[in-house]
Amino acid sequence: MNFPFLTLITFIPLLGAVVVALMPGKHERALKLVAVLFSVPSLVLALIAWLLSAQAAGEMQLLEEAVWIPTLNAYYRVGVDGISLPLVFLTTLLTTLSLFYSAYTIKKRVKEFFALFLLLETGMIGVFVALDLILFYIFWEVGLVPMFLLIGIWGQPQDRPQYSAIKFFLYTLVGSVAMLLAFIAIYLTTGTWNILQIPSLKPLAGNPALAIAAFWAIFLAFAIKVPSWPFHTWLPDAHTAAPTAGSVVLAGVLLKLGGYGMIRILLPFFPDLFRQFAPWIGVLALISMIYGALVSMAQWDLKRLIAYSSVSHMGFFMLGLVAAAASLDVANPVLNSRAIALNGAVLQMFNHGIITGGLFFLVGVIYERTHTRDLKAFGGLSAKMPVYYGVMLMTALASLGLPGLAGFISEFMVFRGAFALIPTYAIIGIVAIVLGAAYILWKIIQHVFLGEFSEERWQKIFNPAHWHFSLDMARFEVITMAPLLFFMVLVGVYPAPVLNGINAATTALLAGL
Amino acid sequence: MEFIFNLTPLIPLFPLLAFAIIVLFTHRHNRLSSSIAIGGIALSTALGWTLVLATILSGEHAWAEGWQLRVPWLPAGTTVLELGFAVDGFTAAMLFMVPFVCLMIFIYSQGYMKLGQPDQDPRYARFFAYISLFAAGMLGLVVARDLVLLFISWEVMGLCSYLLIGFWSFRKADSEHHIDAAQVVRARQAALKAFITTRIGDVLLFSGIALLYSYTGTLTFRELFRPETLETLQAISLLGMPAVTVIALLVFGGAVGKSAQFPLHVWLPDAMEGPTPVSALIHAATMVAAGVYLVARTLPLFIAGFVVADAPALHWVAVIGAITALLGATVGLAQDDIKRVLAYSTISQLGYMMMGLGLGSLVAGIFHLLTHAFFKALLFLSAGSVIHGVEHGAHIAAHNGHGHGEHFSPNDMKIMGGLRHRMPRTFVAYLAGALALVGIVPFAGFWSKDEILAEAFHLWRADGTLNLPFWVWLAGTLGAFFTALYMGRQLGLVFWGEPRHAAARHAHESPSSMTVPLIVLALFALLFGFVNAPFLGNPLHHLMGNVHEVSEVVHAEAIPFNPTVAGISTVLAVAGLLLGWSLYRNYRAGQVEPFQAALGPVFTVLRNKYYIDDLYQWAIIRPAVWLANFCFNIDDRWIIDPFVDLVGAAGRAASDIARVLDSGVIDRWFVEGTAQLFNAAGRWLRYSETGHVQNYLLVVAVTILLLLGLYLYF
C-alpha cells in the first residue's frame, strides 16, 4: 500500500470540521486558527502530489481502492491524473485562502462557518478524486449542503440570501437527480460503477434512445453547475448573496465540478453522442460567452458583474471542450488540435479559479470597507488605495485575457483548437474577447478607480469606526491575494510546468476515446 | 560575436526590470524611480547599438539569416510550441531607432513632469514605471522570433497605452495645471477608447495567429515563410479565398488597429489626452510603429496571397494606406489643438508606410517608419515644450494679474502666436521636425517619402496603365501637399504673428533637460535620411532588404532616385508650406480662419473628422449598450428568471395544495401560496417560511418519476 495521499487530502478537512464542531464556540480565535491549520495539510499534500505526478500524469496516479458497500457493488476508488491534479490543488489553495481571509472578516456564528467550510472542502476534493460513480455522486451532494447554508446564513440581508440559497439548491438538485438516474441506467447495463472501466464497456450502446436521455440528463447536471446558458440564473443570485469566501469557492471551485464532470464522465462515456451533439452544445457555449459578457456589461453591482463574467468565461471552457469532442480523429494534426483545445479548456478552469476567485476576494476588500458594491458609489479610488488598484488591475487584466497573464494562455489554446476544428464557432466567439475588455475596463476599472475622487461621496460610504485595518489593502488581504497573483504570472509567462501534466492527460484521454 | 547575441533577451528585460523595481520598491521616490527608468532604457540602448554594430559586422549572411534563441513554452498534444528571440538586419534597423528615441523621451520626461518640485504628484514614479513597461513591450516586439512573443509584447503595449493615455485621469482637476474636470473625464474615456478600438484589431490578429498555428503547426517567422509552408497555405481554401490571403488580412486587421489606419484610426487623436511625452512615445518609437512592423515582418504572407492572384491582400494594405494618408492629412487642416494636428499627421504618415509596404517594398515602408520616429518624436516633444512654455506663461500672467480666472487650453494654437522669439531653441527644433515631415531636402522625411512615391511611380510606369500604384502615387503626392499645408498653418499660428493671449505673451523657453533631447533629435531629423540615400548606395537596403529571402517571394531591390517624382513632391511641399504659412502668420484672435473662409462646409466636415466618431457612437456603441441591457432584461425580468421563479412557484403551490388536501384545512398558506403563483417572481422563497422541505422533495419526486417513466418507456 502506497502512501494514501488522496484519502488524506480529502478527509483531513472533514476531520477538521469535526474537531471545530466539537470545540467550545466562545474561543473564536482558537477556532479560526484550528480551522486554517486543518486546511493546510491538504494544500501541502496536494502540491506534493501534483509535483510528484507531473511526469506521468497521462495515467491515473495515486490509486487507492477498497470495497465499500458490497450490496451495491460500490467501491471506494480514488485516483488523479493531469486533469484532476490542478483542480485538486486549486481547491485546497482557494479553501486555505478563504479560511484565512474569513478568519479576519467573519464575525457571525464563527464555529458553524468554519466547520461547514471544511466539510465543503472534503466534498469538492472528493468529486475531483472519485473514480466510482456512487462515490462521485455522494461527494457531489456533500458539497451542496454546506454551500446552501453558507449562502443562506452568512449572506447579506439585502441580497435575499434565502431566496438565493434555495434557488442554488433546487437548481443543483434537479440536475443531480437527473444525473443519479442516468448513473443507475449506466450501471444496469455495465454492471460497474467504475469510472475508468465504463467507457470500454460502451454504456447503453444497445439502447440509443435511452443513451441519448442519459447523455442529456448528465449534461444537464453538469451544465447547471458550469453554468451554461440557460441554466445559469442561480449563479448571479448565489454569488451576490454569498459571503466573500463563499463566492470565491463557488466561482473558483464549484463551477469546475461541472466542467470536470463533463471531461471525466460525459465525454469518455458517450464520445459518439458528444460528437453528434457538439454543434448544439457549441451553440450553448457561444451564447454563454457572448450573452454572459453582454449581461455583465449591463450590471451596476460589482459582484453581480463578476458573477456574469463567470458565465462568459466558463463558456470559453465549453467551447474548448466542444472543439475537442467535435471529432474522434486521432491522426496526428487533428489529435494535436483536439488536445490543444482540451488543454485550453482544463487550463481555463484552473485560470478562472485563480482569477475570478481573486476578483471575488477583491470585491470583498471594498465591500468590507464600504458595505456597498454599487459601481456608481465609487470613483477615483486609485489615489486613495493604490495597492488595491494595482492588484485589482492585474487581476482584471488577467481576466480579460491580457497576454503575459494566465487568462490569455487558456483563451489562446481554446481558440487555437476551435479555429482548427469548429472555425465558425471560433469566429463568432471572438466577439466575447472584445466584450470582455469592455466590461472589465469600462465598468470595473473606470468606475471604481479612475475619475475624480470625491471626499464627500467617500464619507457617505466609508465609516472609519467600523474598519480596523489600513484603508488601502491590509496585510491579510495582500497575503490572501499573493499566491493567486503568483499563479497568474507563472501561467502567463511560462505555462509549460502547469501544462505538461494537463497535456499528457488530455492527449491520453482523447487518444483513448 | 555569438556571446553578444546571446544577450538579446536583456534588451527588453532591462526596462521590464526597471518597471518591476519601481512598482515594487521605489514608487515612493520620484527622483530615484525616474533614474532607474532612464538607467534601464540606457542599458537597452547601449546593448541595442552594440547588437546593431555586431550585426553589421557579421556580414550579409547574418543580415538575412540572423541569430536566434528559443525555449519550449507551450505543450500542445504531441508537439511543443516554442517561444524565442531573433536578430537579423531588420531587427538591427529597429534596434537602432527604438531604444534611442525612447531614451530621449525618458530624459525629456524628467523635465516635463516637473520632478523635484514641491507640487509634484506622487504618481510620477508610476509614470516612469509605465513608460518603462511600454519600452519593454516595443523592444520585446522587435526581438521576437515568432508571433507568440510578438503578440505578448503587442498587448503589453496596448495595456501601457491604456494606462498612460488615461494618466491625467488619476489627477484631480486643478487650475494650477489647467486640468479641468472635463479633461479628467476625457482622459479616461480616451484610454478606454484606445484599448477597445485596438482590441478589435487585436482579436483579428489573434484569429490570424490561431489559424496560422492550426494550418502550419508553427508560429516562427522563418518557418512560416518557407516556400513549402506558403504553398500549403495558398492551397487551402478558406471563405472562398486561399487561406494565406485570409490570414494576411486578419494580421493586417491587427495592424490597422495598432497603427491607427482607417477605419480604426479614431483612438489615436484622442490619445492626445495623455501627457505629451507619452504622445511622443506612442506616435514615434512604439505602439503605432508596431502595426507597420508587423505587416513588414509578415510581408511574405501578403505577397504569397498576392502571387496566387485574385487574392490581393497586398492591395488592401496599399488602398487602406492611401485612404488613411489622405484622411489624416485633410483632417489635420482643420484642428486647433497643437497635438491633435500632429496626431492626424501621424495617422497620415502611417498611411504612407502602409502604402510602401502595400507596394511590396519592405524597405520603403520601414525607412519611413524610422525617419518618422525621429522627426515625429521631435515634433511632439517640441509641442510639449511649447505647451509647457504657455502653461508657465499663464502662471506668470496670473501672478501679474492678467487673464486671471479665465479658462483656456494651453494646447490651443489659436491663443499662441509669435513664439519664435520667446522660445528660440524650441522653434528651431520644431522647424527641423516640420521640414523633415514636409519632406524638404535634405531632411530625413524627404528621402523616405520619396522612396515610397518613387516605388509607386516606378510600378505605374512599368505597367503603363492607370493601375493601383498610380492611384497610390497620386494620393501620396496630394497627401504631401496637404501635409505641407497644415504644417505651414501650424508654424504660422504658433510661431509667427503676435501672441493672442496673455499666457502666450509671457511664455518662455523650457529647461535644458527638455531642450537638449530636442536638439539631439533635430540632428537626427536632419541627417538620418542619409542612411538610405540613393547617392550613398542605399545602405539600409543592404542591411535589411534580404530578411525575407527565405520566402522566395519578396524581392527587394532599391528603386533608383527619380528626379521627376522628387521634383513634383518638392514643388508641392514648398508651395503648401508657403501657402499655409502666409495665410496664417498674421492670423488675429476672433478672425474667421482663412481655410474656413475658403472651404466653407468642407472645412466643417474636416473639423468634425468626417463625422466618423459620431457614426461609431451611433452605429456601434449605443447598440452595444442597448443590447447589453436587453440581454440583462431577458435574463432577469422578462424570460429566464421569471420562468424559473414560475416553476418554483408552481412547485410550491402544488405542495401547498397537496398539504391542504392532506390536512383538509384551508389556511393562510394556501391563500398565500396561490396568490404568489399569480403574483410573479421574487417573493416566493423566504427562508423563514415553512414548506421548503416538501418543496424540493416534491421536485425530486417529480423528476424521479419522470425519468423513471422515460426509462421504462424506452
Q: How far apart are CA B311 and CA B229, in angstroms?
A: 18
- Tallying the residues shown for chain A, one arrives at 513
Buried b (16+ CB within 10 A) or exposed e, A3-39: eebbeebbbbbbebbebbbebeeeeeeebbebbbebb
Residues 6+ apart with CB under 8 A from A15: A38
Q: Is-contact A259 A226, C-beta < 8 A?
A: yes
**Run of H or E residues at A76:** strand A74-80
Mutate to test the interface with A, among B167, B703, B706 (most CBs of A within 10 A): B703
Q: How far apart are CA A286 and CA A322, in angstroms?
A: 11
pLDDT score, position B121 = 63
Please work out, in degrees rounded to the nearest 5, the angle formed at the alpha carbon of residue B164 by the alpha carbons of B158 and B167.
145
- Quick one: average pLDDT of B530-547? 79
Between helix A496-511 and helix A84-105 the angle, nearest 10°, is: 130
**Torsional class of B418: left (φ above 0), alpha (ψ -120 to 50), beta (otherwise):** left
Closest CA to B275 of B109, B103, B129, B117: B109
Under DSSP, the state recorded for B617 is I
Neighbours of A466 (CB within 10 A): 10
Q: Domain ranges for chain B, please list them.
A: 1-145, 173-591, 640-713
Question: Which of A35-49, B125-139, B661-675 is least confident?
Answer: B661-675
Mutate to test the interface with A, among B73, B632, B705 (most CBs of A within 10 A): B632
Please tell me which residue, B120 or A390, carries the higher pLDDT value: A390
pLDDT score, position B351 = 93
Q: How far apart are CA B573 and CA A371, in angstroms?
A: 63
First to last CA, chain A: 30
Q: Domain ranges for chain A, please list them.
A: 288-513
Query: Where residue B687 falls among pLDDT bands split at 50, 70, 90?
Result: very low
Spell out which residues of chain B touch residue A420, defining contact as CB-CB under 8 Å.
Answer: 210, 214
**Range among A78-82, B78-82, B459-463, B512-516 rated most confident:** A78-82
The pTM of this model reads 0.89
Residue in B75, B195, B628 closest to A499 by CB? B75
Closest CA to A461 of A386, A358, A383, A381: A381
Shortest Cα distance from B258 to chain A (angstroms)?
A: 15
Per-residue pLDDT tens over the stretch B169-228: 766 655 555 556 777 778 888 888 888 888 889 999 999 999 999 888 889 888 888 888
Q: Is-contact B167 B127, C-beta < 8 A?
A: yes
For strand B241-242 and strand B237-238, is the pairing parallel, antiparallel, or unpaired?
antiparallel
Q: Is-contact B644 A167, C-beta < 8 A?
A: yes
Determine, for residues A403 and B156 on separate chains, whether the beta-carbon distance falls below 8 Å: yes
- Quick one: average pLDDT of B654-665? 64
Whether residue A254 is predicted with pLDDT greater than 80 in this model: the reply is: yes
Shortest Cα distance from A12 to chain B (angstroms)?
A: 31
pLDDT score, position B64 = 76
Per-residue pLDDT tens over the stretch A307-364: 999 999 999 999 999 999 998 888 888 899 999 999 999 999 999 999 999 999 999 9
Q: Is-contact B203 B195, C-beta < 8 A?
A: no
Q: How far apart are CA A447 and CA B188, in angstroms?
A: 10
Strand-pair partners of B86? B68
Q: How far apart are CA A13 and CA A11, in angstroms?
A: 5
pLDDT score, position B483 = 93
pLDDT score, position A85 = 93
**DSSP per position, B220-263:** BHHHHTSHHHHHHHHHSEETTEEHHHHHHHHHHHHHHHHTT-TT
pLDDT score, position B671 = 43
Query: Where residue B666 falls among pLDDT bands split at 50, 70, 90?
Result: very low
Whether residue B413 is predicted with pLDDT greater than 90 in this model: the reply is: no
Measured CA to CA in angstroms, residue A11 lies from A22, A64, A245 at distances of 17, 14, 21
Query: Where residue B678 falls among pLDDT bands split at 50, 70, 90?
Result: very low
**DSSP per position, A331-366:** SHHHHHHHHHHHHHHHHHHHHHHHHHHHHHHHHHHH
Local structure of A52: helix, strand or coil: helix
**DSSP per position, B75-95:** EETTEEEEEEEEE-HHHHHHH
Local structure of A374: helix, strand or coil: strand
Percent of chain B scoring above 70 in pLDDT: 86
pLDDT score, position B677 = 45
pLDDT score, position B566 = 87
Per-residue pLDDT tens over the stretch B250-274: 999 999 998 888 888 888 888 888 8
Q: How far apart are CA B37 and CA A296, in angstroms?
A: 38
Closest CA to A220 of A185, A254, A173: A173
Closest CA to B176 of B390, B384, B395, B383: B395
pLDDT score, position A406 = 93
Tally of CA atoms within 13 A in the half-sphere of B510 that contains its CB: 30
Query: Where residue B312 falls among pLDDT bands split at 50, 70, 90?
Result: low
Shortest Cα distance from B28 to chain A (angstroms)?
A: 11
Measured CA to CA in angstroms, residue B199 lies from A427, B206, B317 at distances of 15, 10, 19
Query: Where residue A397 falls among pLDDT bands split at 50, 70, 90?
Result: very high
Mean of all residue pLDDT scores within chain B = 82
- Quick one: average pLDDT of B96-111? 89
pLDDT score, position B683 = 43
Mutate to test the interface with A, among B124, B238, B711 (most CBs of A within 10 A): B711
pLDDT score, position B667 = 46
Spell out which residues of chain A touch residue B151, defining contact as CB-CB under 8 Å.
Answer: 403
pLDDT score, position B703 = 60
Whether residue B669 is predicted with pLDDT greater than 80 in this model: the reply is: no
Closest CA to A418 of A409, A408, A428: A428
Whether residue B561 is predicted with pLDDT greater than 60 in this model: the reply is: yes
- Quick one: average pLDDT of B426-434? 91
Dihedral pair phi/psi, residue B86, rounded to 5°: -150, 150
Spell out which residues of chain B touch residue A382, defining contact as CB-CB under 8 Å.
Answer: 170
Q: How far apart are CA B434 and CA B17, in angstroms?
A: 36
- Quick one: average pLDDT of B494-523? 85
Determine, for residues A335 and B78 on separate chains, whether the beta-carbon distance falls below 8 Å: yes
- Quick one: average pLDDT of A162-167? 86
- Tallying the residues shown for chain B, one arrives at 714
Query: Where residue B682 falls among pLDDT bands split at 50, 70, 90?
Result: very low
Whether residue B334 is predicted with pLDDT greater than 60 in this model: the reply is: yes
CA gyration radius, chain A: 22
Question: Which of A79-93, A249-263, B191-205 is least confident?
Answer: B191-205
Q: How far apart are CA A43 and CA A89, in angstroms?
A: 7
Determine, for residues A426 and B172 on separate chains, whether the beta-carbon distance falls below 8 Å: no
Per-residue pLDDT tens over the stretch B584-598: 888 888 788 888 888
Residue B700's identity, in one-letter code, is V
Cell of B294: 508587423
Per-residue pLDDT tens over the stretch A402-434: 998 999 999 999 999 999 999 899 999 998 998
